[in-house]
Amino acid sequence: QVQLQESGPGPVKPSETLSLTCTVSNGPIRHYLWAWLRQPPGKGLEWLGSIYHNGTTTHNPSLKSRLTMSVDTSNNQVSLKMSSMRPADTAVYYCARSPFFDYYFDYWGRGTLVTVPS
């Protein structure tokens, strides 16, 4: 069973950069898209960005300038950095896997809550 586990800092101060890592177990990094999504408390899901195993990225246009994503195939990890964090970025952040060209998320991490205090 493929497992995804996000790790993150918990609280992040306003204007700081968020760094998250998603570790993939029991499955390959290659030949899949790896996405980051978030869900503010009590609200819906938002796709942030995605990365292919070769490093090709796609970003949500509303966040493009703030996001940096990377993939480490040696350690089966994908990473997200989001700059200039603000209180509105408070959310549960998920990583998820999508079969390439099929565009659905078949495996999700448990999510990690990131809080940006006002």
Q: Which regions of the chain does DSSP assign to beta strands (E)?
A: 3-7, 18-25, 32-39, 46-52, 57-59, 67-72, 77-82, 91-99, 107-108, 112-114
Residue 15 vs 65, nearer CB to other proteins: 65
Decide if residue 35 touches other proteins (CB under 8 A). Answer: yes
Percent helix, strand and coil across the chain, each to the nearest 5: 5, 50, 45
Q: How far is the CB of 13 from other proteins (least distance, A)?
A: 26
To other proteins, the closest distance from the beta carbon of 42 in angstroms equals 10
Indicate which single residue of 36, 69, 89, 109 sits in contact with other proteins (rule: CB under 8 A). Answer: 109
- Using the structure block, give the residue that is written with the tokens 């952040």: 93
Among 19, 21, 23, 58, binds other proteins (CB under 8 A): 58
CB contact at 8 A, 80 and 55: no
- Position 112 contacts other proteins (CB under 8 A): no
Footprint of other proteins (CB under 8 A):
33, 35, 44-47, 50, 58, 60-61, 94, 98, 102-106, 108-111
